[in-house]
Chains A and B, each alone.
Chain A
Amino acid sequence: MGTLISIELALAFLGFGFVVGLPLAVGEVYGNKFVKNLAVLPIVEFFRSIPALVLLFLFYFGASYLNLNFSPFIAALLAMGFRSAAYQSQVFRGAILSIDVGQMQAARSIGMSRFKAIRYIILPQALRISIPGWSNEYAMVLKDTSLVYALGITELMRQGRYIVARTFGNAILVYVICALIYFVIVHFGVKLLDFLEKKYRIPGYEIKKVTTRA
């Protein structure tokens, strides 16, 4: 019901964010000055300095301003997707930068192009290192799906509201249950990511845990 929509939303935002965020990170680390300063940094700064709610409204109302027909869902996807991309790009960036510079040199020394080196040597390592930071992002996005309530999308919180309105019931009970549902999903998601991190850990290689804000 509402929960499923919330999960769907979260996955959609995260997916979008990943697809956009990873190239952003690569561009930021390996790109030339133009790419970095004209494209990547402004995007990242913009989506990180502005509250999620404002972003949602911006995209939603911006659509009608530009005479495009967006459903609330698409507006939310774009707004939250790009936002997630901005945050994810920083996680990936940190991971890429923490890889020893000798790896890239060794890759080039056997004749790999920059692209191949990034694809076969840098990214596989960076993605593994990113997992702890990424699980923070997962938690954040899941909780932020509650904000699309403001665009009228029927996710968990709005469902909760409807239930309260319909049953004149115990508002506190309903909302506490909503809270519990979020908690469970976040908690298990993070546990799953922890498990994945252990599973894909490079044997013998200590991955430093990066503790960032949830």
Chain B
Amino acid sequence: MNFFEFAWSISPKLLAGSLTSLELTALAISIGFILGIPLSLGRVYGNKIIYTVTTIYIEAFRGTPILTQLFILYFGLPSIGIMFSPFTAAVIGLGLNSAAYQAEFFRGAIQAVKGGQMVAARSIGMSKIKAIRYIILPQMFRLVIPSWSNELILLLKASSIAYMIQVSELVSVGRQIASRNFRTFEVFLVIAFIYFVIVEILNRILHSVEKKIKIPGL
């Protein structure tokens, strides 16, 4: 089989693998989002204790490799009795990691919303929480879209690391295929191509979403 025939023949399996990768990415970024917002709010508005705790979390996850984090979750925890399936460990690990990064750019965006907004909200009688909910956060979300898009793409690429803890995502499937017919390089060429295409598509989509949601004049 020449290269293209080969590529075509293995595509179905590879696409199944990419679906797992995408699943992984989607779950992880959602976890990251849900966790990231409170974390960022904690860093901006919290008292000293909350600030310290959140900072430690964020620094820890940003300062260490994803591989290490996944190893701790999948290979490390069993030694104290907690066992996760590979997929679960990957989702948790990538999710917690993403939360740290998302928290940071949420924080940046919150601080970029002009100070006058909060003051104005308080002046019409809103509590801090209401002000955050109705005035700050909506603006913050729009500001954050470029960074968030970037994060999504980065997570997709990071999902490949889950291979190392035996999750059947794209890279893992690729290696399985290769172990049977030994055309490893070509398999990975196809894999590289698939990633490239997915990333390009995501980029385009996110870009047009960004344009649509833009606040006029900002």
Contacts and interface: CB of A to CB of B under 8 A. Distances in A.
Contact of B108 (A143, A187, A211): A211
A164 interface: yes
A182 B59 CA distance: 12
Contacts of B178: 61
Given A46-B196, A54-B192, A58-B192, A64 B185 contact: yes
Interface in A163-190: 164, 169-176, 178-179, 182-183, 186-187
Given A61-B178, A175-B68, 6 more contacts: A51-B157, A143-B64, A157-B65, A175-B75, A182-B64, A214-B101
Please report whether the interface of chain A is mostly helix, strand, loop or mixed according to DSSP: helix
In this complex, the interface size class of chain B, counting residues with CB under 8 Å from chain A, is 35 or more
Contact of A65 (B147, B185, B200): B185
B7 interface: no
Contact of B164 (A46, A150, A176): A150
Contact of A57 (B64, B75, B78, B171): B171
B101 A213 contact: yes
Interface in A64-96: 64-65
Given A46-B196, A179-B68, A58 B189 contact: yes
Contacts, number: 123
Contact of B64 (A170, A172, A183): A183
B191 A54 contact: yes
Nearest to A187: B63
Given A147-B67, A183-B63, A50 B185 contact: no
Contact of A61 (B59, B147, B150, B184): B184
A197 interface: no
A50 B69 contact: no
Contacts of B199: 49-50
A53 B185 contact: no
B79 A172 contact: yes
Sorted nearest first, the 6 A-B pairs with minimum C-beta distance are A172-B76, A65-B185, A51-B157, A143-B65, A146-B65, A51-B160
